[in-house]
Amino acid sequence: MVQTIESVNGIINGFVWGPVMLLLLVGTGILLTIRAGFPQILKLGSILKHTVGTLFGPDAHKKDEAGISPYQAVATALASTVGTGNITGVATAIVAGGPGAVFWMWISALFGTMTKFAEVTLAVKFRQKNERGEWVGGPMYYMENGLNMKWLGVIFACLATLASFGIGNMTQSNSIATALNTTVGIPNEITGIVVAAIVGIVILGGIKRIAQVTEKLVPAMGALYVILGLVTIIMNLDKLPGAFAIIFQCAFNPQAAMGGVLGYTIMNAIRFGFARGVFSNEAGLGSAPIAHAAANTDNPVKQGMWGAFEVLFDTFIICTITSLVVVMSGLWDPTQNLGLDGAALSIAAFQASLGSVGAAGVTIGTVLFALSTLLGWSYYGEKSIEYLFKTKSWVGYVKLGYKVVFIVAAFIGSIGGLQLIWAIADTLNGLMAIPNLIALVLLSGTVTKMVKDYFKEEKANKKA
């Protein structure tokens, strides 16, 4: 049975992460970037000003009965974005595609910044209120309300629901179980029970309880991991130039850089760099816009800036820290025959420099990152279910059933095999991204006009 699943998944995965999909994924980001005038680069100062620059002001924390605050929205989105993809996913990308995968992860993020900027902006523009007076939105709503293509929204919602059990659930609980088992020897089954219980307590309280937890969890876990990573890098500064050198060399000529190590090719580096990059920052998947649509904001473009910030923080800071620590450690090198992968590799890399403190720090980071992702994705799946059955009087029972299955899946993921779970998650990610990317291309003119009009007005206000 397992072999059959692996075989079928491999065939589908080969298509969704093949050349056509990679072209669509990066091509959409490039198209949006060019049409909007490279705002993620030329307007970076404004983006930072309206995101991190507002954290201590009132605007970022305004909320009402219809929605959560803009900061709570980005915290919820970041909770799902900054997950084990930043620790486990980066390590698996380096093992599978070589250090060159890190470079292609950066490239995908450069254009992915604009992709997420666009999808969040559209999610707020085309959102609507549900029967309880709450803001709801996301790709399925801009497909229906912006493109008049409800059928595409239904496809996306179905795929998002399925993906929530992969990227947002089983891979996360699996990484928690692996980290705790590796570091302190806790049996996977025990971890699974505890994780399922915690997730159940939070998600049964709805988006406002999720937001209350994530707005406190995200800053704490981000700060902890950044400090841990920077200390490790500083302790190995002499290896930093060599780490960057092998990343760039393997990105374009892995065989020469690695002395002909079998399996490391440019295509593998690109494939795993893009796949794990998207798994980590979720740009193009259409997941984060579901959380952003619940924000109490009157300006779609301003909320879109928070989407851009997510990718910047997730990939260029968190993922880069993990990448450099792993590459500098040398433990990923297949010639050493250590067999390390995923969370175990990241833990070992930090432990090599910081000893038990490093192992404990990464373990805590993995647990917090994964828990936050579980919470964020439970909301995405719930809202997808709500979209599919919103006209039915019994939608509440379906949503409750989804939450129960989600909690059970968290336990199952903790005792499952890493490779198969990650492979299925990759496939579901790719499938989910396809309808969203199609919608983004078709609505590129709309989002381009909104972004350009916003910055034109901002420039005019400065002159006034």
Q: Looking at the predicted structure, is the pLDDT value of residue 441 above 90?
A: yes
The one-letter amino acid code at 461 reads: N
Q: What is the pLDDT of residue 372?
A: 79
DSSP 357-376: HHHHHHHHHHHHHHHHHHHH
On average, the pLDDT of the chain sits at 82
Q: Are 334 and 208 in contact (CB under 8 A)?
A: no
Q: Are 115 and 440 in contact (CB under 8 A)?
A: yes
Is 343 buried (19+), middle (13-18) or exposed (0-12) by CB count in 10 A? Answer: buried
Structural domains of the chain, ranges and CATH numbers in brackets = 2-463 (1.20.1740)
| Tens of pLDDT, residues 100-118 | 889 988 988 899 999 999 9
Q: Looking at the predicted structure, is the pLDDT value of residue 316 above 80?
A: yes
Determine which of 7-11, 209-213, 404-408 has the lowest per-residue pLDDT on average.
Answer: 209-213
pTM equals 0.84
Q: What is the pLDDT of residue 116?
A: 93
Q: What is the pLDDT of residue 71?
A: 65
Confidence of residue 458 (pLDDT cuts 50, 70, 90): confident
Q: Which of 150-159, 289-298, 424-433 has the highest mean pLDDT?
A: 150-159
Residue 286 carries which DSSP code?
A: S
Which phi and psi angles does 264 have, rounded to 5°?
A: -90, 105
Q: Looking at the predicted structure, is the pLDDT value of residue 17 above 80?
A: no
Q: What is the pLDDT of residue 329?
A: 87
| Tens of pLDDT, residues 332-385 | 877 665 677 777 788 888 888 888 888 788 778 778 878 878 888 888 898 999
For the record, the structure tokens of 407 come out as 């909690």
Q: What is the pLDDT of residue 166?
A: 77
Helix, strand, coil shares, percent, the chain, to 5: 80, 0, 20
- The whole-angstrom separation of Cα 60 and Cα 373 is 22
User: What is the arithmetic mean of pLDDT over 446-456?
Assistant: 92
- The whole-angstrom separation of Cα 153 and Cα 389 is 12
Confidence of residue 206 (pLDDT cuts 50, 70, 90): low
Q: What is the pLDDT of residue 33?
A: 95
- The whole-angstrom separation of Cα 410 and Cα 191 is 10
Q: What is the pLDDT of residue 101?
A: 87
* Cβ atoms < 10 Å from Cβ of 197: 12
For the record, the structure tokens of 339 come out as 């067999």
Q: Looking at the predicted structure, is the pLDDT value of residue 66 above 60?
A: no
For the record, the structure tokens of 172 come out as 């996360």
SS3 135: strand
Q: Are 123 and 289 in contact (CB under 8 A)?
A: yes
| Tens of pLDDT, residues 213-251 | 766 777 777 788 888 899 999 999 999 998 999 898 888
Chain centre distance of CA 258 = 30
**Strand 135-136 to strand 128-129: parallel, antiparallel, or no bridges (unpaired)?**
antiparallel
Q: What is the pLDDT of residue 80?
A: 61
Q: Looking at the predicted structure, is the pLDDT value of residue 436 above 50?
A: yes
User: What is the arithmetic mean of pLDDT over 384-394?
Assistant: 84
Comparing 162 with 32, the larger pLDDT belongs to 32
SS3 128: strand
Q: Is the dihedral of CA 77, 142, 274, 340 positive or negative?
A: positive
User: What is the arithmetic mean of pLDDT over 22-48?
Assistant: 89
Q: Looking at the predicted structure, is the pLDDT value of residue 84 above 90?
A: no
User: What is the arithmetic mean of pLDDT over 142-149?
Assistant: 95
User: What is the arithmetic mean of pLDDT over 377-399?
Assistant: 85
DSSP E strand boundaries for 239-352: none
Q: Looking at the predicted structure, is the pLDDT value of residue 425 above 90?
A: no
| Tens of pLDDT, residues 251-279 | 887 665 565 555 567 777 777 787 777 76
Q: What is the pLDDT of residue 68?
A: 59
Confidence of residue 142 (pLDDT cuts 50, 70, 90): very high
